Structures are given as C-alpha cells and as structure tokens.
C-alpha cells in the first residue's frame, strides 16, 4: 500500500515512538517543515540517511529486502576492486524480510530496524569465521563463530540487518588497511589505487563511503576509526572509553580499546551508537552507569549557536601540515564561527606532545608502579576471556589451548607478549582489571583528565576542536608520515571524539576532517555539535562508483 507523504511521515514518527519526532510531525506545527527535511527524498536509498531510508520504506518506495539485496549485490560486485568485505552473512536477507514484516505490523523496534550494517573482521558474528583479516589466524581458527559479539547482538536486537564483516589491517594493528588475508583495501576516491584508505577499520569506512551499508562497526586504540574516517572521507566516532562494551571481539589493549561507528552522516552514527551503548558484565572495564536509549540521538541543527569551542593550537602543527589540510581546517573553523560558535585558543594542560610524560609523572607522584597502556598481562588475559566466551554448555572450549595455538600469529603484531607459552601461561590467568601497570595507567588517566576538565571549565568550553590528522590519505609506497598526531592523546585520556569530513584537496581526495573532542561523558553534546557543523558545511561527497 502506498501512503501519502504526510501520512508516511506521521507513521514513521509513530513507529519510532520518539517524542521529538511526534512533536515535529504534528501538521501545522512549527516543526512540520523540519520533519519533511529530515526525512527528505533520496533517489538511491543507500545514499541517503537512515531517516530517509526509513521514510522511503514507510511510503512504500522500497523495502528492507530490496535494499539489502542491492547492498549485497554492491558488496559482491565492487569487492574485486575495493577488497573491503571479509565475508557476507547468509542471514542478511532473512533479517531484512523479518524487518519488513514488523513494518507491516507497525512494530519496528526503532530507527535501526531493517538498516544494513557491517561489523569489522575482529568481531564474532554468528555463522561466520572470525578471521581478524589475518591469513595465519584464518587457517588456525577455521570454525564458525557460535555467537555474536555483544555489539552485533545489540544491533540484531534493534532489528538491524548484519550484512557481514569488513576487512581491516591484520588484528586491527596498523593504520593503512593492509590485510594478509584479503590484500590492500582500496581508497575509493583514488582511481590509481596508490593512496591509503586509512586503517585499521579500513573496510568499514570504505563500505559506508561507497554506499554499501549505512554504518559499520569499528574499533579504535590509537586512531583506527578516525584515520580511515579522514582518509576515506566519512564520519568516525571514538566514544567515551567504556561506553561501548567489547565482549566477543578479538582484544587489543584493554585500557585503550574503544569501539564505535563509522558512517556517512553524523545522525546515522548517533543512531548506531545509541544502540551499542550501555553496561555489560562481560567487559570488566565498561562503564557501569545505566544508559537511557535515545540520549545520543537527539541532535540539533543549531547546536553550534553560542557553543564555546577551544582551538588546541598544539594539535595544529602548521609547519608539518599539508597545505590542503591546513586550508580546509581553517575554512572549517570559519564555518563554525559562521554557525554562531565562539572559537578561542585553548592551551590544554595536556597535549599530543606531553600526555605520556604526564601519565608517568602522575604515577611517580602517587608512588605507584609505572603506568603501561600496553601491559602484556592485560592483553594476555583479555585474549583468554575472548576464547572462553566462544564456549557453550553443550560445547565447551579449551580457551588456554586456543590462546596457545594462536600465540605466534597474534604475537607477530602484539609483540609485547612473551615469546614462549610457559611465560604466557602465567599471564593469562591474571584478571586484567587487577593488573598493577594497567591500574596505574587508569589512575593517571583520572589525574590528567581532571586537570583537563578544570581548564575547560575555567574557560567555559563545550568542546575542543582540531584536525583529526594534519595530513590526508598518504601514498602507500611512502608509508606513514613522520608527524606526531593527536590520535593517541584521545585514547590515553579516554576522551570522546567525533571526526567529520571537512573537504577535499586539489587531487580530489579527502584532505581534512574536523574533530570535536570533549570530556568523558560528553558524547551527546559532541555528536550534536558535529551534526550542526555537517549541516552547515555539507562536505561529505560520495566517491565514484567502483569498477568491478
């Protein structure tokens, strides 16, 4: 049945049961035009926002099954060029048809119901291998995952259609998008195939940039969401540390690892993060505060009006920045000013050059052991817990045996781990939340963040701003530029950060993303500020369609 535009907007608001949507959807109300704009037309359902996609479903313009079919066809056809997809899920079409059934019954579970998404290759997805994008790991562990990672499970519970898994750097360790299993992920904006798409969440960024999925799961220990966001020209989110639990994902550094979405648009990232957030007992470092659904998705177009932004000059290394990145960053700041923000210089008490020594100094002042973000005992125990979760009452697993089996392949990247199993066996049993070096690190984090918070309060700042990276997508042959970035700063302090496209260089490649960075817990505010900037600048541009 085809509905009128106005009827479909009312129905969409009712299905989502969101008070803001209901208020906007009242005919004759001040917000009626806003609702129409929010759920505007999109010729290609995978090119618009999630809200536009859902509005089209309600109108009868397309179904989740039709759009999922299109997404899977793109993934298969384009992957010969992109090398972005690790595996596709046989369950995707069943999930899409189930969502269409719920729509006919006016029983959608929320805005993510029926939305095609991807997970990164280090996530467990039931029925698929967890390859970690590593040829060695895929050979060592060919079995199918018996259950979903917590984030994948939450997406399925919200009705999302899990298309499959994306390619990353081996074990999510490096930042260029090179997999020993799948090859080099292609930057879709670079026809010559010479530039990095960024990494390690390369396939996730590329898949959403090309319109294969609306959003994708990524991880970030030192920039793995934000690097491909800038290099591939999409939105990358690193939430507050602990906001998103990490059970069922091949671990990295427990005190740094932060999971979040990549998407074309901030609003879509906010909807996905809203589903992912909240406590979970399997992750000992996840936040314990109950999360209220919807808190992250209330965005305002005018959020920059009157906002106070601190420009951290120490994170703008102009002498080392490429000219396109510097030009685009300056333009982005002017656009924030034009949207009504107050932007002033902010001398953060910790910055990209000083934060490591400040962590160490805080520990010395406490008389504590040296803090270690890469403590081997923490990673060893996290790996044991990852494998233990794969067991069931009917089919228990020997988690220690699996750690031992995979140690050499894993240690080739995480080389802080012991070389021998005898040394490793001692570490795996030590709970990472009680590891002395990790605890010292977390205590130092509290000290350094408290100093930052006091400085931001004194200057009445809502957020900090700086370029996500001081350079764009670099040549793969040249390797990573010898420039200190602010990426690790955000992970060490556990700060939320939203990276938004700020434009393209003369070569047609993404050259700058603007980062909105805040204190822990300010995720909703940052998303709203980033959304307002995005609506003002409209710098996202889709890459050309890949050639198979």
What's the first-to-final CA gap in the chain, in angstroms? 36
Structure tokens at 517: 């960075």
My answer on whether omega of the bond before 200 falls inside 30° of 0, hence cis, is yes
**Per-residue DSSP letter, 128:** S
CA distance 468 to 302: 23
Q: Transcribe 210-236 into DSSP letters.
A: TTS-SEEEEEESSSTTHHHHHHHTSEE
**Per-residue DSSP letter, 133:** T
CA distance 282 to 211: 33
- Please give the radius of gyration of the chain, using alpha carbons only, rounded to the nearest integer: 22
Tell me which H or E stretch contains 513: strand 510-517
Active site residue 200: yes
Q: Which residues pair with 118 in a beta bridge?
A: 164, 216
Catalytic one of 8, 63, 180, 200:
200
Structure tokens at 352: 């990209």
Is residue 376 within 8 Å of residue 107, measured between CB atoms? Answer: no
Structure tokens at 39: 């759920």
Catalytic one of 120, 121, 238, 499:
120
Q: Transcribe 380-425 into DSSP letters.
A: HHHHHHHHHTT--SSS---HHHHHHHHHHHHHTTSTTS-SSHHHHH
Q: Where are the alpha helices (DSSP H) in 367-521?
A: 376-388, 399-411, 421-428, 436-458, 487-493
In terms of phi and psi (left: phi > 0; alpha: psi -120 to 50; beta: otherwise), the region of 447 is: alpha
CA proximity to 291, closest of 356, 243, 343: 243
Q: How far is CA 531 from CA 141, 205, 336, 466, in A?
A: 41, 18, 11, 16
Structure tokens at 457: 């309060």
Tell me which H or E stretch contains 8: helix 5-16
Catalytic one of 182, 201, 204, 224:
224
Cα dihedral value 522, 527, 533, 537, nearest 10: 150
Active site residue 224: yes
Largest CA distance in the chain: 73
Is residue 119 within 8 Å of residue 261, measured between CB atoms? Answer: no
**C-alpha atoms less than 13 angstroms from C-alpha of 7 in its C-beta half-sphere:** 6
Structure tokens at 489: 């700063």
Active site residue 120: yes
CA distance 514 to 495: 15
Could you list the active site residues? 120, 200, 224
């Amino acid at each position: 049945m085809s509905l009128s535009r106005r009827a479909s907007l009312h129905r969409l608001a009712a299905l989502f049961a969101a008070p803001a949507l209901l208020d906007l959807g009242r005919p004759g109300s001040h917000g009626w035009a806003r609702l129409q704009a929010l759920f505007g037309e999109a010729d290609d359902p995978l090119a618009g926002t999630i809200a536009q996609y859902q509005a089209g479903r309600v109108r009868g313009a397309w179904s989740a099954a039709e759009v999922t079919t299109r997404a899977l066809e793109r993934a298969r056809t384009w992957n010969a060029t992109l090398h972005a997809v690790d595996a596709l899920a046989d369950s995707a079409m069943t999930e899409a048809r189930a969502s269409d059934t719920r729509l006919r019954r006016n029983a959608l579970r929320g805005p993510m119901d029926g939305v095609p998404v991807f997970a990164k290759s280090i996530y467990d997805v039931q029925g698929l291998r967890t390859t970690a994008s590593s040829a060695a790991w895929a050979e060592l562990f060919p079995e199918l995952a018996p259950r979903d990672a917590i984030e994948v499970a939450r997406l399925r519970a919200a009705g999302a259609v899990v298309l499959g898994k994306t390619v990353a750097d081996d074990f999510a360790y490096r930042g260029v998008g090179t997999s020993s299993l799948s090859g080099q992920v292609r930057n879709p904006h670079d026809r010559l195939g010479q530039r990095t798409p960024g990494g390690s969440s390369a396939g996730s960024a590329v898949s959403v940039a090309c319109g294969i999925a609306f959003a994708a799961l990524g991880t970030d220990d030192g920039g793995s969401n934000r690097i491909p966001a800038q290099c591939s020209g999409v939105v990358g989110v690193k939430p507050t540390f602990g906001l998103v639990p990490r059970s069922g994902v091949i671990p990295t550094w427990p005190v740094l690892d932060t999971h979040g979405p990549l998407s074309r648009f901030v609003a879509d990232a906010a909807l996905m993060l809203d589903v992912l957030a909240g406590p979970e007992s399997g992750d000992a470092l996840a936040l314990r505060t109950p999360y209220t659904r919807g808190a992250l998705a209330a965005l305002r177009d005018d959020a920059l009006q009157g906002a106070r932004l601190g420009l951290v000059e120490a994170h703008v290394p102009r002498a080392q920045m490429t000219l396109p990145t510097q030009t685009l960053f300056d333009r982005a700041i002017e656009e924030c000013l034009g949207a009504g923000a107050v932007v002033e210089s902010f001398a953060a008490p910790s910055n990209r050059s000083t934060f490591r020594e400040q962590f160490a100094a805080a520990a010395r002042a406490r008389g504590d052991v040296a803090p270690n973000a890469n403590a081997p005992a923490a990673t060893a125990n996290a790996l044991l817990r990852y494998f233990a979760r794969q067991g069931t009452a009917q089919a228990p697993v020997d988690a220690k045996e699996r750690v031992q089996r995979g140690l050499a392949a894993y240690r080739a990247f995480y080389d802080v781990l012991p070389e021998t199993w005898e040394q490793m066996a001692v570490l795996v049993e030590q709970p990472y939340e009680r590891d002395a070096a990790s605890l010292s690190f977390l205590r130092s984090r509290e000290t350094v963040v408290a100093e930052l918070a006091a400085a931001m309060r004194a200057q009445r700042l809502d957020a900090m701003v700086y370029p996500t990276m001081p350079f764009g997508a670099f040549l793969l042959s040249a390797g990573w530029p010898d420039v200190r970035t602010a990426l690790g700063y955000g992970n060490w302090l556990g700060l939320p950060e939203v990276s938004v496209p700020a434009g393209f260089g003369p070569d047609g490649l993404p050259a700058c993303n603007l980062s909105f960075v805040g204190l822990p817990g300010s995720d909703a505010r940052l998303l709203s500020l980033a959304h307002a900037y995005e609506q003002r600048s409209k710098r996202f541009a889709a890459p050309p369609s890949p050639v198979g």
